[in-house]
Chain A
Amino acid sequence: MNTKQTIAIIGATGNVGTFISKSLSKGNYRLLLLGNQPDKLEALYEEIRNASPEADIEIYGCPTEASWEADIIILTVPYGSQQEIAEKIREVANQKMVISIANPLNEPYDRLATVSGTSAAEELQKLLPNSKVVKAFNIVFPAAFAKPILVGKKADSFIS
């Protein structure tokens, strides 16, 4: 696609979020970075700028504003935060693609928080009924990300 897409990455300071931000910054996208740790966000911004000076990236504070501008929204927040963020972006994410990478782990990270029969992405889809929720990148643990992955094309992750 020639037309530059705007992608909001909510949770850019997490492991997966950082990785995705850096990968996508090499593509033809306008990236809006959001995270709850301002210094980590700044550091990420600087790092991307240094690696790709022409990268079209901006730090945003408000997930609603960012999602309003975005064509695609990537949620790289823990499962526990999913609902809160979904509420904030539901209206402005109408008819947009929302990519979720949450593995629905409970707090001690020792088992799934979702009840059997449903998945984090399915629950997100219920919270965002008019968005196209896509689940991706959630099989490989964040620390294991080694190869660049472009959204939609991957070496060893699955997108459903």
Chain B
Amino acid sequence: MYEVFFSKFNEKVQLSESEEYAVKQFLTPKKLRKRQYLLQEGDICKTVAFIEKGAMRSYIVDSNGQEHIFSFALEGWAIGDLSSFLTEQISTQNIDALENCELVLISKYAHDQMLISVPKYATFFRILMTEAYIALQKRTLSIISMSLDDRYKSFIDQYPDIVQRVPQHMIASHMGLSPETLSRIRSRIGKSQ
């Protein structure tokens, strides 16, 4: 139920048996069916989800009803509206399952408790945040400075699993492109290889 979660945790911060036990008390095991929502816009994001099995995405819907995918998450990754989670403000994001999922949820309550009672959780969270920030920085730079072809190549280099598991039109949305544009990029890259 928590193998991937603790494997990731220990990768970043080593936990003793008793510390692992302490963290376990605060975890919520959750199964989500494909297309079920973890969060719908208009709600406060009350949990962050770690993926044991499956894949999820987060997206917003603009005023024209168009979806814009913000992020994907596969096994070992976390997903959630961080801003809504930490500030307890209403979220504009939707988070749903792309496949049947097994999740480990951490509620705001559990998060706040663990920050106090399990010091290594605070370290774990800090490391997750810094890694996420660095990834976001990389992504922003690639959006503003790279050619579309290079952006796509960089994306599939860094996240090869996503391309296997996620439909092309969703990758296009995540990159801010139309499916047709992404198609053209892929065939250009295909021809040059």
B-binding residues in A (CB < 8 A): 1-4, 6, 30, 65, 68-69, 71, 91-92, 94-96, 130
Residue pair B43, A91 in contact (C-beta under 8 Å)? no
Residue pair A1, B43 in contact (C-beta under 8 Å)? yes
A24 CA / B111 CA spacing, docked (Å): 30
- Beyond the given A4-B40, A94-B25, A95-B107, could you list 20 further A-B residue pairs with CB under 8 A, ordered by the A residue number? A2-B41, A3-B37, A3-B38, A3-B39, A3-B43, A4-B36, A4-B37, A6-B36, A30-B36, A65-B31, A68-B29, A68-B30, A69-B30, A69-B33, A92-B29, A94-B28, A95-B27, A95-B105, A95-B110, A130-B25
Residue pair B29, A3 in contact (C-beta under 8 Å)? no
Q: Please tell me if B176 contacts chain A, counting CB pairs below 8 Å.
A: no
A2: which B residues are within 8 A, CB to CB? 40-43
Q: Is the interface of A mostly helix, strand, loop or mixed?
A: loop
A2 CA / B129 CA spacing, docked (Å): 28
Partner of B29 from A1, A4, A6, A91 at Cβ < 8 Å: A91
A90 → chain B, closest Cβ, in Å?
A: 11
A-binding residues in B (CB < 8 A): 1, 24-33, 36-43, 105, 107, 110
CB-based nearest A residue for B28: A95
A65 CA / B100 CA spacing, docked (Å): 14
Residue pair B43, A69 in contact (C-beta under 8 Å)? no
* Given A68-B31, A130-B25, A91 contacting B1 (CB threshold 8 A): yes
Residue pair B29, A94 in contact (C-beta under 8 Å)? yes
Partner of B31 from A69, A91, A130 at Cβ < 8 Å: A69
CB-based nearest B residue for A130: B25
A3 CA / B94 CA spacing, docked (Å): 9
B84 → chain A, closest Cβ, in Å?
A: 12
Q: What are 18 A-to-B residue pairs whose CB atoms are below 8 Å?
A: A2-B40, A2-B42, A2-B43, A3-B37, A6-B36, A65-B31, A68-B30, A69-B30, A69-B31, A69-B32, A69-B33, A91-B1, A92-B29, A94-B29, A95-B26, A95-B28, A95-B110, A130-B25
Residue pair B27, A3 in contact (C-beta under 8 Å)? no
A32 CA / B24 CA spacing, docked (Å): 26
A94 CA / B107 CA spacing, docked (Å): 11
CB-based nearest B residue for A1: B43
A95 CA / B33 CA spacing, docked (Å): 20
